[in-house]
Amino acid sequence: MSVLAFRLYGPLAAWGTGEAGETDRPSADHPGRSAVVGILGAALGLTRTDEDAHAALAASFRLAVAAQGARRVLRDYRTVQTIEPDRAQRKAGFVSRKHALATGAKVHTMQTWRDYRQDGLWRVFLAPRPDAAYPPDTLAAALSRPVFDLYLGRRDCPLALPPDPALLDDADVDGLLRAYPALPAACCRGRYPQGFAGLARRLAREPVTLAWEPGFPGAPDPESAGTARREVADEPLSRALRRFARREERSAQIPNPEAPETAEDAAP
């Protein structure tokens, strides 16, 4: 079956990690399985309480992510308030925040720090598993016309380009990257706002950081020099309860097939 490719690009993204807590919420360098399943679930119109559908979706593919762009960390400080009602209000509740502040029994304030990744671009590749409940063509159609709005991890992180899903012939990772470039050709032909042509040139000068899970077809040799192995806690077990399992992930910096061949081609 074909490999599904789609693009995630925006000024800010937040890819939660297993280390995230109530007050400190770091961001990974790239979207993991939980983030990708969440984006696909939103496109399909799955609700958080539909655990069976989410489990079937998560079991439908193997994942590889090609990361580029600055991806600098932006740390945001916030305060969060919750208002405790008195006994008489516990059943009735508050009708507005003004009403809550005026009549609540106690205000609880919590400090939080949230990390974002700035100016990142991620190409996501999904290789279908046997008997996938959600095959690539179904997911591609959902990404083209999503039921719910799509975000890069949090609601304050909208996409700056459409996902642009494409079905590619099964090939090695280098072939997938060549068949699905960092930016769509329309970006360099004036269809989108000015500035994307310069971005395309900058991305072409950068290496590609690839993260993949074991079994992804055509992935680099896991024993090759420069390949790292780690465990990440982003395998979704329960979307409603926010529970995750650990999985193995490999990563390596690989050559960029879009790199210019001459110094003249590399000029800004």
Question: Is position 148 within any domain?
Answer: yes
- The pLDDT score that the predictor gives to residue 258 is 87
- Quote the number of domains for the chain: 1
Q: What is the per-residue pLDDT across 158-187, written as a single tens digit (0 to 9) for each?
A: 999 999 999 999 779 999 999 999 998 766
Q: What is the per-residue pLDDT across 100-137, written as a single tens digit (0 to 9) for each?
A: 888 888 888 889 999 999 999 999 999 999 999 999 99
CATH of the domain at 245: 3.30.70.2660
Q: What's the average model confidence in pLDDT over 210-230?
A: 92
Question: Is position 146 within any domain?
Answer: yes
Task: Give the torsion through C-alpha atoms of 251, 74, 71, 38, to 10 deg.
Answer: 70
pLDDT > 70? residue 190: no
Q: What's the average model confidence in pLDDT over 224-243?
A: 88
- The pLDDT score that the predictor gives to residue 181 is 93
The pairing of strands 243-254 and 208-212 is antiparallel
Q: What's the average model confidence in pLDDT over 22-39?
A: 93
Question: Is position 106 within any domain?
Answer: no
Question: Is position 97 within any domain?
Answer: no
- Containing structural domain, residue 147: 3-73+118-254
Question: Is position 95 within any domain?
Answer: no
Question: Is position 17 within any domain?
Answer: yes
Local confidence band at 152 (pLDDT 50, 70, 90 cut-offs):
very high
Tell if the pTM clears 0.85, that is, is over it: yes
